């Protein structure tokens, strides 16, 4: 069994036998670097990147990887699944988890991670005939199913949360040092049938820690100091309204007594009241009287914290905000013109559209937690400025690596059989213009040129056009456009990145003028559905066309 060991900067790699890799971990090949990392982590806030981590090699267990034409490609898949159990309390807990994992006959290896507070578990999987798939698509299906099976088993066996990987096939870890690493080369591989599709990902829920502070139960998700500040200001306002106090008044006693009673019922500690009132400049000269009055009221009163000075609407708003941010992730897709969501701590990595069923489900989930949230409240939250805007094209472009100097566009053009000697250069220019319009580099002109592919029925024209977009952007490709509905056709320029005019020769002559119009239209001025005003919309779409007849 072989794995791949990458250098710390992941620019070089080598294939390594599992026995040798286990020896590197056991014998401390990078002992000093691991020790430095663990020392640095002691003084680092969780979630902050650590410099020492970037000095450790990276291990890919599931495949051997080779370099081909300057890029890394999978050479051979071995069926090993890597599970990660992170955020353990200390090294002692990690040792206990490693010991429990070693008790399973399916565990090939278990070792403490480079942080000293995590455990990595390696489990072998095979098909019923003791082989593993080597086709890329089948590998993805097989590994996703194997990962789900392994995660479900070890989650129940160890009673620990398994780290969620967005792409299980690319799961890797830093080279660690663990002199007591568990290794069993004769581990029983788990046999599963070859899946023919990606498994459905089910949400994984974790119990929420109990909140003991009554103030944080009242306004969840906020720092305690902010909660106290809010309650104090509400108590101050109610005291001023109840007593009619104004800064010109000489008698401050009724006001102070009412304020202290409000703060007592709100559950604000006595010293917090004494500290917060002099923050207002007008009350600084009464500091001694403030302390004495507040102390006496607190001594004589009963029912501490039973009736906070906070309106029910405020409580609901704070509870809803905390619930939404803890359980879900929302975004407003500018191209689709609608909100999307996904559950946190779930194996669903894609965002899904928000519809009536989703609104009702979120409302019921909130009510199960005791939050009186109705579907109208959920809708009000989602369609507010609390939800960030998301532009899929711009986000995808920002995440692309730097250009490697290779002319990938003309290489893509060469994949299409063509006897036109100018095809490569013309396609290159059109493709650059398409991407430039995605980035909004030219708002005065549109990408008004469209490649027209002519070939016999079933030769792959439409498939080739569809593959011009990467898998991440395929939902922004369409080959359905109705030129008779001009308003909807114009809105498609904002909704899609690439539009294929399929069967171009069948476009009616009466639609030719409108076709010329939208090809040259740089900005869309149309009223969106359910909107009252006409607003300029950014054009993303470029056009390509196919035909069976010359």
Lowest mean pLDDT among 152-166, 370-384, 492-506: 152-166
| Highest mean pLDDT out of 84-88, 90-94, 430-434 | 430-434
Strand ranges (E), 129-187:
173-174, 182-183
Residue 206: its pLDDT value, please? 45
Query: How much of the chain, in percent, has pLDDT values that exceed 70?
Result: 91
Residue 301 has pLDDT above 80, yes or no: yes
252 and 327 both lie in a single domain:
no
Residue 230: which domain range? Answer: 214-300
Residue 151 has pLDDT above 70, yes or no: yes
Task: Report if residue 454 sits inside a domain.
Answer: yes
Q: From CA 505, how far away is CA 516, in angstroms rounded?
A: 15
Residue 226: its pLDDT value, please? 75
Residue 441: its pLDDT value, please? 82
Residue 116 has pLDDT above 90, yes or no: no
Residue 93 has pLDDT above 50, yes or no: yes
237 and 333 both lie in a single domain:
no
The answer to whether the CB of 206 falls within 8 A of the CB of 344 is: no
Tell me the pLDDT tens digit for each residue of 66-78. Answer: 877 767 777 888 8
Query: How much of the chain, in percent, has pLDDT values that exceed 90?
Result: 19
Q: Across all residues in the chain, what is the average pLDDT?
A: 84
Residue 18 has pLDDT above 60, yes or no: yes
7 and 148 both lie in a single domain:
yes
**Strand pairing category for 71-77 and 63-68:** antiparallel
Residue 64 has pLDDT above 80, yes or no: yes
Task: Report if residue 207 sits inside a domain.
Answer: no
Number of Cβ within 10 Å of residue 545's Cβ equals: 21
Average pLDDT over residues 276-300: 83
Query: Domain boundary at 367, 390, 413, which?
Result: 390
**Structural domain count, the chain:** 4
281 and 422 both lie in a single domain:
no
Task: Report if residue 426 sits inside a domain.
Answer: yes
Tell me the pLDDT tens digit for each residue of 312-331. Answer: 787 788 888 888 988 899 99
Choice between 63 and 356, residue whose per-residue pLDDT is larger: 356
Task: Report if residue 464 sits inside a domain.
Answer: yes
* Displacement of CA 403 from its chain's centroid (Å): 25
In DSSP notation, 22-58 reads: HHHHHHTTTHHHHHHHHHHHTTS-TTS--GGGGGS-E
Residue 205: its pLDDT value, please? 46
Burial 378-416 (b: 16+ CB within 10 A, else e): bbebbeeeebeebbbbeebeeeeeeeeeeeebeebbeeb
Per-residue confidence band for 346, with pLDDT thresholds at 50, 70 and 90: low
67 and 148 both lie in a single domain:
yes
281 and 407 both lie in a single domain:
no
Query: Domain boundary at 390, 410, 429, which?
Result: 390
Lowest mean pLDDT among 214-218, 280-284, 496-500: 214-218
Residue 210 has pLDDT above 60, yes or no: no
Angle between helix 375-382 and helix 356-368 axes, rounded to 10 deg: 110
φ, ψ for residue 14, nearest 5 deg: -150, 150
Residue 227 has pLDDT above 70, yes or no: yes
440 and 525 both lie in a single domain:
yes
Lowest mean pLDDT among 53-57, 121-125, 476-480: 53-57
Task: Report if residue 532 sits inside a domain.
Answer: yes
Residue 215: its pLDDT value, please? 57
The answer to whether the CB of 538 falls within 8 A of the CB of 545 is: no
426 and 386 both lie in a single domain:
no
Q: From CA 83, how far away is CA 106, in angstroms rounded?
A: 13
Indicate if the alpha-carbon torsion angle 418, 420, 425, 429 is positive or negative.
negative
Residue 207: its pLDDT value, please? 44
In DSSP notation, 263-324 reads: HHHHT--HHHHHHHGGGSGGGGGGHHHHHHHHHHHHHH---TTSS-S--HHHHHHHHHHHHH
Residue 340: its pLDDT value, please? 94
Average pLDDT over residues 76-104: 87
Task: Report if residue 355 sits inside a domain.
Answer: yes
Taking alpha carbons only, the member of 99, 111, 103, 105 closest to residue 124 is 105
**CATH number for 444:** 3.40.50.300
Indicate if the alpha-carbon torsion angle 56, 57, 58, 59 is positive or negative.
negative
Exposed / middle / buried, residue 529 (Cβ in 10 Å: 0-12, 13-18, 19+): exposed
Per-residue confidence band for 347, with pLDDT thresholds at 50, 70 and 90: low
Its pTM stands at 0.54
Q: From CA 321, how far away is CA 53, in angstroms rounded?
A: 35
């Amino acid at each position: 069994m072989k794995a791949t060991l990458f250098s710390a900067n992941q620019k070089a790699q080598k294939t390594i036998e599992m026995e040798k890799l286990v020896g590197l971990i056991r014998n401390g090949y990078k002992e000093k670097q691991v020790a430095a990392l663990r020392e640095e982590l002691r003084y680092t806030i969780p979630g902050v990147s650590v410099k020492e981590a970037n000095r450790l090699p990276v291990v890919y267990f599931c495949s051997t990887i080779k370099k081909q034409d300057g890029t890394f490609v999978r050479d051979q898949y071995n069926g090993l699944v890597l599970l990660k159990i992170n955020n353990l309390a200390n090294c002692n807990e990690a040792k206990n988890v490693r010991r429990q994992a070693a008790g399973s006959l399916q565990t090939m290896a278990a070792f403490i991670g480079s942080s000293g507070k995590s455990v990595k578990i390696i489990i072998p999987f095979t098909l019923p005939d003791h082989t593993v798939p080597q086709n890329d698509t089948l590998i993805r299906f097989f590994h996703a199913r194997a990962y789900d099976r392994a995660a479900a088993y070890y989650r129940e066996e160890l009673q620990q949360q398994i780290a969620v990987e967005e792409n299980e096939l690319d799961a890797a870890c830093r080279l660690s040092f663990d002199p007591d690493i568990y290794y069993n080369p004769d581990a029983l591989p788990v046999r599963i049938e070859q899946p023919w599709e990606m498994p459905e990902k089910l949400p994984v829920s974790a119990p929420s820690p109990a909140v003991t502070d009554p103030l944080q139960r009242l306004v969840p998700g906020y720092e305690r100091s902010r909660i106290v500040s809010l309650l104090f200001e509400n108590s101050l306002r109610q005291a001023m309204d109840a007593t009619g106090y104004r800064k010109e008044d000489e008698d401050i006693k009724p006001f102070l007594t009412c304020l202290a009673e409000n703060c007592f019922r709100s559950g604000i500690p006595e010293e917090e009241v004494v500290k917060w009132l002099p923050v207002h400049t007008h009350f600084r000269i009464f500091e001694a009287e403030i302390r004495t009055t507040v102390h006496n009221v607190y001594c004589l009163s009963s029912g501490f914290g039973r009736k906070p000075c906070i309106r029910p609407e405020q409580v609901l708003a704070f509870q809803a905000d905390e619930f939404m941010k803890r359980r879900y992730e929302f975004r407003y897709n500018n191209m689709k013109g609608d909100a999307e969501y996904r559950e946190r701590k779930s194996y669903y990595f894609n965002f899904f559209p928000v519809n009536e069923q989703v609104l009702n489900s979120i409302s019921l989930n909130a009510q199960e937690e005791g939050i009186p949230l109705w579907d109208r409240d959920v809708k009000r939250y989602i369609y507010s400025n609390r939800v960030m805007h998301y532009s899929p094209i711009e986000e995808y472009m920002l995440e692309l690596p730097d250009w490697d100097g290779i002319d990938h566009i003309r290489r893509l053009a060469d994949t299409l059989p063509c006897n036109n000697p100018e095809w490569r250069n013309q396609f290159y220019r059109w493709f650059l213009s398409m991407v430039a319009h995605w980035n909004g580099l030219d708002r005065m002109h549109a990408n008004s040129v469209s490649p027209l592919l002519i070939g016999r029925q079933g030769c792959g024209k439409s498939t080739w056009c569809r593959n011009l977009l990467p898998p991440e952007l395929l939902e922004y490709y369409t080959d359905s456009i109705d030129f008779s509905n001009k308003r909807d056709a114009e809105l498609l320029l904002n909704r899609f990145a690439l539009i294929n005019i399929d069967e171009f020769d069948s476009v009616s002559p009466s639609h030719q003028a409108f076709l010329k119009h939208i090809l040259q239209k740089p900005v869309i001025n149309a009223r969106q559905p359910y909107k009252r005003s006409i607003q300029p919309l950014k054009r993303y779409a470029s056009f390509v066309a196919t035909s069976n007849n010359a």
